[in-house]
A = this chain, B = another copy of it.
């Protein structure tokens, strides 16, 4: 990838992956999510090369995921923040973290705990809901035993499948 852009795919996944589907972008977003704001914070936390960091931040700003603000007038001091668009990416980040918590770090591995800032309530679950807002039995998402017969998660869909390869 990267060599070829995914823009020609009429697929939200592909387009989204094209924007945030690289590791540094993902890690930068995670870092923003966890409170980092400045170039040097990112650089220090992630250990990424400065030019790469610069490039990624630029891309995220151009794609309106992050917004760059001057912290003090006159001085070269900036901070990065989620835009609306960007903050709605948080569920993606949380979903990834939760998966990792569960499947990479095991039971006793003290996963990252997140609290909602306003209510103080812990955030622990991300769920796929049906249109009416009722939770879809989560079992259905992961019910099929790995070696089961015909694992059928969510296979039916409507939309342009035909143009997948173009």
Residues of A within 8 A of B (CB): 1-2, 6, 9, 11-18, 21-24, 26-27, 30-31, 33-35, 44-47, 64, 67, 81-85, 87-105, 110-133, 136, 140-142, 144-147, 151-161, 164-165
Contacts and interface: CB of A to CB of B under 8 A. Distances in A.
Number of copies: 2
A12 B104 contact: yes
A6 B26 CA distance: 12
A153 B103 contact: no
A97 B165 contact: no
A150 to B, nearest CB: 8
Contact of A92 (B11, B46, B99): B99
A47 B163 CA distance: 12
A62 to B, nearest CB: 14
Nearest to A81: B151
